Amino acid sequence: MSFAMSKMCDLCGKGYQKGNLVPRGIGNRVTNRAIIKKKANLRSKRLNIDGTSIRAKLCSSCLKRLKFEQRKIDASKAAE
């Protein structure tokens, strides 16, 4: 998965976000226009899935979600 598009999240497939850069000059006039690509906030992380550790590139929102779900699992384990 990761070799096809390196700058993508392995979980949700988030990559570039396209946007318009419109700098303003004097009196709010447009002086230039450019298309900008915003990269996703990717982090490479070692994940332990069924005993085997793999390396995955994840975006920060996926990491946050994983952290939250792990906390939920830990809480349910502690309750038992």
Task: Return the number of the residue (12 or 73) whose C-beta is nearest Zn ion.
Answer: 12
Task: Return the number of the residue (17 or 23) whose C-beta is nearest Zn ion.
Answer: 17
For residue 70, give both structure tokens. Answer: 């792990």
Site membership for Zn ion, residue 42 (CB under 5 A): no
Strand 52-59 and strand 17-21: pairing?
A: unpaired
Name which of residues 55 to 74 contact Zn ion (CB under 5 A): 59, 62
User: Cα(28)–Cα(80) distance, rounded to whole angstroms?
Assistant: 62
Which chain residues interact with Zn ion by CB under 5 A? 9, 11-12, 14, 59, 62
